[in-house]
Copies of this chain bind each other. A is one copy, B any other.
Amino acid sequence: MIAYLNKINAFINYLDPQILTALQHISTIKTFKKGSFLLSMDETCKKSYVLESGIARKYYLNDGKEMTTELFFKDDIAISLHSYVQQSPSREFIQAITDVSVTVTDYQAFQVLKTQYPALMELDLMMTEYYAIWLEDRLFQFHTLTATERYLFLLQKQPHIIQYIPLSYIASYLGISLETLSRIRAKLI
């Protein structure tokens, strides 16, 4: 998993400088205040956001309850995949948890660039593969681990998450209630 990330980074480093310049031409830097939305439900995800600083999350509403599906840190790519890929209305929100700075890249412009530079198509494929593997792993966790095990797993793999993010977000990310998470933590001390 990490190995594959390294492969992607290596691929980016070996990209033709001309391609990188072209990418920069269709990208801008933008900031979002804590609590504001990079993407709202029913909106089409027409931009990708690479986090430069700050933290964001992706969530949807279920019976009025917010279910967090993904947490974004530096260098993560924040999009709502189903909306981005199909250019259809999103079921998800993407929200800044702290003040956030991002590199914004336009979907349409990127599509054009991909047909121009096959290396970008390949890069897009690698990143999508990585996301799919990450999803498989998450599904595996829901399939086989108890709530406590999922929490410990998160603690071990991404200890930084716990420090900066409200427990209510973490609870729904783990697929458990806030109360259960609180009890799990109490027991572990």
Instruction: Mark A residues whose CB is within 8 Å of B.
Output: 3-4, 60, 62, 67, 69, 81-82, 85-86, 114-115, 118, 121-122, 124-125, 128-129, 131-133, 135-136, 138-140, 142-144, 175
- Which chain B residue shows the least CB distance to A92? B136
Residues of B within 8 A of A138 (CB): 139
Q: A139's contact among B124, B129, B142, by CB below 8 Å, is which?
A: B142
- Which chain B residue shows the least CB distance to A86? B4
Tell me the complex Cα distance, A128–B122, Å: 12
For residue A39, give the distance in angstroms from its CB to the closest CB of chain B.
Answer: 15
Q: A136's contact among B67, B81, B143, B175, by CB below 8 Å, is which?
A: B81
For the complex formed by this chain, how many copies does it contain in all? 2
- Given A62-B144, A124-B125, A82:B136 Cβ within 8 A: yes
Closest 3 pairs between A and B when the two form their complex, measured CB to CB: A135-B135, A118-B118, A132-B132
Instruction: Supply 22 A–B pairs (Cβ within 8 Å), ascending by A.
Output: A60-B140, A62-B144, A69-B139, A81-B132, A81-B133, A82-B133, A82-B136, A85-B133, A86-B133, A114-B122, A115-B118, A118-B118, A118-B121, A121-B125, A125-B125, A128-B128, A135-B135, A135-B139, A139-B139, A142-B142, A142-B143, A142-B175
- Given A67-B143, A135-B136, A136-B135, A85:B129 Cβ within 8 A: yes
- Which chain B residue shows the least CB distance to A85? B129
Report which residue of A86, A118, A125, A139 has the largest number of chain B beta carbons within 10 angstroms of its beta carbon.
Answer: A125
For residue A150, give the distance in angstroms from its CB to the closest CB of chain B.
Answer: 12
